[in-house]
Amino acid sequence: MRPERHQQLVAFLRSLGLEVGDRDLAPIEEALSHTSAGLARNHERLEFLGDAVLRLAAAEFLQRHYPNLSVGRCSALRAQLVSDRWLAELGEHCKIESVLHLGPMASGDQAGRATVRAECCEALLGGLYEAWGAGQGGLEPVHRWLSPHWQRSSSELLADPDRHNWKSALQEWTQAAGLGLPHYDCQERSQVHADPRRFHCSVAIAGQASHTGWGPSRRSAEQEAARAALAVIKPAPGA
Residue set of the binding site for Mg(2+)? 47, 119, 122
Distance in angstroms (rounded) separating the CA atoms of residues 121 and 115: 10
Give the total residue count for the chain. Answer: 239
Q: Is 122 a catalytic residue?
A: yes
Q: Is 188 a catalytic residue?
A: no
Beta bridge partners of 135: none
Distance in angstroms (rounded) separating the CA atoms of residues 20 and 14: 8
Concatenated DSSP letters of 47-63: HHHHHHHHHHHHHHHHH
Is residue 189 within 8 A of residue 199, CB to CB? The reply is yes
Helix (H) / strand (E) containing 172: helix 166-176
Q: Which residues contact 20 (CB under 8 A, 6 or more apart)?
A: 9, 10, 13, 14
Buried b (16+ CB within 10 A) or exposed e, 82-100: beeebbbbbbeebebbebb
Distance in angstroms (rounded) separating the CA atoms of residues 215 and 49: 32
The one catalytic residue in 51, 84, 97, 140 is 51
Sequence ranges of the binding site = 47, 119, 122
Q: Which residues contact 132 (CB under 8 A, 6 or more apart)?
A: 23, 138, 140, 141
The one catalytic residue in 29, 30, 122, 222 is 122
The residues annotated with a catalytic role in the active site are 51, 122
